[in-house]
Amino acid sequence: MCPRIGQTSAAREPPAAPRALPIWVGVLVAGLALYGLTANRGAQWQDSGWQQLRIVRGELEHPYGWALAHPLQHYLGRAAIYGLPIEPAFAITLVSAVAAAIAVANLAALLLLITRRRDAALIASTALALSHTFWQNATYTESYALVAALLTGEWLCLAYFVIRGSRRALLLGALLNGLGIANHLLAGLATLVDAGFLAWTLRKRLIIPRIAIACAACWLVGACPYLVPVLRALIQSGDASGTIHSALFGNYAGQVLNASVTPRMLVLAVGYVLYNFPGLTVFLAGCGLFMKSATTRSLRVVWTIQLLLFSVFVIRYSIADLYTYFFPIYTLLCMFAGLGLARILGSWNPRQARVIMVLAAITAIWTPIVYLVTSHVLESRGLLKKMVRNKPYRDGYRAFFLPWGCANDAGERVNRAVAAAAGEDGVVLVADHMIGFGIRYAQAVQELPASVQVLDIAREADAAQVSRWKARLAGFLLENRPVVLVPRDRDRPETCVRAARWRRVGDLYLLTTLESDDE
């Protein structure tokens, strides 16, 4: 066994180390109950809907590149479909719920191992569990909950190696990071830090070269679900540069390599953090980051570098759903918050420390109330209307500002309305392709007849395209087929065919006539 790596003593001797497994199991069960009960049950829109559709169809490769394929989530989703006798969309979403519960349990066990304080571990893990973005991604089909589960698993393994000298934990950590790559390339930032830590342990002779080689082998095994299909695509296409570009960036090279940060991006980043942690968590994270504690120096360096890397990457990453990429940052903040709270409880005046602990606990569990009040106030005053938009059958304020997925059933409502309006041989025109994923999912699981045509129709097009669309619509009318429009805005049935006349049915529209002149 290798020796422990120099620990910094706390100001006050911590209590005897409690067992981590009971708290891990207890937090896991609580997380499973929370996320399972609040998970979205049906078809979803946007990237979540696209992932559901690809998983149901068994389509591993992503049209936008291998970087967006998320093979580990894909295979787990496929396993959930076949292993759970429930709605496929719900089964796939439960992968996120289970992964999020594991991540919270890992964080609680990690903090207990390091600080020996159940109170600090439970409060910090609760703050993570009830934070907006973490909770939201736990209740939709997203890959970020798996990111957190694997990342916190790595940290736990690293702590066992540093504190108890377990080489097996080091090997398991390498395997988990490889699986992280197989799930989402965001794990590559942790890979860089892990590689640096491994080189440091070699230089300090804390491990022998054979262990480092074994770690590399474990990493490769974990990354195989991603590396194998990419290698197969490379062999089949013979296009090395194109395949590598697809594997690293997909269609988003400009966003990934963006080096500029605007004031708006900084303001949004601060806003995201404060909305997720409207209490003492950020203050406690600062205490954990800058105050000396019982954490070994090597662990603090690893986690501080990871926090810096993830923060720099995310803040200058210019994509619409940027807030989802804050997942590792929030997890690190809660980990540092647990360290900070443990330090305060162990070194401050007992009365002051109790006040901080009570306030930290209250502000960790009051977030559902904060989210409900925020949603209600914004909706009642009509604020941020442009952001939430006017999508059919969706309450945008609830969908955006409430984290629990069960608050948003727009996908299921649209699918029911489409099925009723289209009948057995109708035509469904989708003006927003992000909504179309949920409708195509319904067709893939036979909730919508296969004889129904689902087509993406543009709002703007050149004259030739408009002419072709007008001819197609005229043909559908001659065949007496219902033509249903799923609009981008529920109050505005806009398509490139200006001559089309529509009759509103709920939040959808039925084509009635075509005028002779588009003008």
CA–CA separation, 97 and 390 (whole Å): 28
Q: Which long-range contacts (CB under 8 A, 24 or more apart) does 374-377 make?
A: 374/275, 374/401, 375/400, 375/401, 375/402
Backbone angles phi, psi at 517, to 5 degrees: -125, 125
Which pTM was predicted? 0.93
- What are the phi and psi torsion angles at 336 (to 5°)? -65, -35
Q: What is residue 519's predicted lDDT score, i.e. its pLDDT?
A: 47
Which of 329, 360, 458 has its CA nearest to residue 127? Answer: 360
Q: State how beta strands 500-505 and 508-514 pair.
A: antiparallel
Residue type, 179: L
pLDDT at 13: 45
| Distance in angstroms (rounded) separating the CA atoms of residues 271 and 127 | 17
Q: Residues 319, 252: contact at Cβ < 8 Å? A: yes
Structure tokens that stand for 104 in this block: 């919270």
CA distances in angstroms from 310 to 143, 189, 439, listed in the order given: 16, 7, 35
Quick one: pLDDT at residue 10?
39
Predicted confidence at residue 517, as pLDDT, reads: 56
| 75: CB partners within 8 A, 6+ apart | 225
Name the β-bridge partners of 509: 485, 504
Dihedral pair phi/psi, residue 296, rounded to 5°: -65, 150
Kindly calculate the radius of gyration of the chain based on its CA atoms and give it in whole angstroms: 25
Bridge partners for 296 per DSSP: 7
Q: Output the six-digit token pair for 57.
A: 């169809």
Q: Which of 104, 95, 92 is nearest to 44 (CA)?
A: 92
Tokens at residue 519, please?
């003008």
What are the two backbone dihedrals, phi and then psi, of residue 472, each rounded to the nearest 5 degrees?
A: -65, -45
CA–CA separation, 95 and 320 (whole Å): 24
List all residues 6 or more positions away from 515 whose beta carbon is below 8 Å from its beta carbon.
499, 501
Q: How far is CA 70 from CA 42, 73, 275, in A?
A: 21, 6, 28
Run of H or E including 455: strand 453-456
> Which pLDDT belongs to residue 2?
42
Retrieve residue 275's tokens.
């909305």
Cα end-to-end distance, the chain, whole Å: 81
Give the pLDDT of the chain (519 residues) as one tens digit per residue: 344 444 433 344 445 556 889 999 999 999 999 999 999 999 999 999 999 999 999 999 999 999 999 999 999 999 999 999 999 999 999 999 999 999 999 999 999 999 999 999 999 999 999 999 999 999 999 999 999 999 999 999 999 999 988 899 999 999 999 999 999 999 999 999 999 999 999 999 999 999 999 999 999 999 999 999 999 999 999 999 999 999 999 988 888 888 888 888 899 899 999 999 999 999 999 999 887 765 678 899 999 999 999 999 999 887 777 888 899 999 999 999 999 999 999 889 999 999 999 999 999 999 999 999 999 999 999 898 888 889 999 999 999 999 999 999 999 999 999 999 999 999 999 999 999 999 999 999 999 999 999 999 998 899 999 999 999 999 999 999 999 999 999 999 999 999 999 999 999 999 999 987 544
Q: Burial of 237 by CB count in 10 Å (0-12 exposed, 13-18 middle, 19+ buried)?
A: exposed
**Which residue ranges make up each domain of the chain?**
20-365, 369-401, 410-514
Name residue 501's beta-bridge partners. 513
Residues 324, 272: Cα–Cα separation, whole Å: 10
β-strand pairing of 483-486 with 500-505: unpaired
Taking 3-state DSSP, the helix, strand and coil percentages for the chain, each rounded to the nearest 5, stand at: 65, 5, 30
Count the residues in the chain.
519
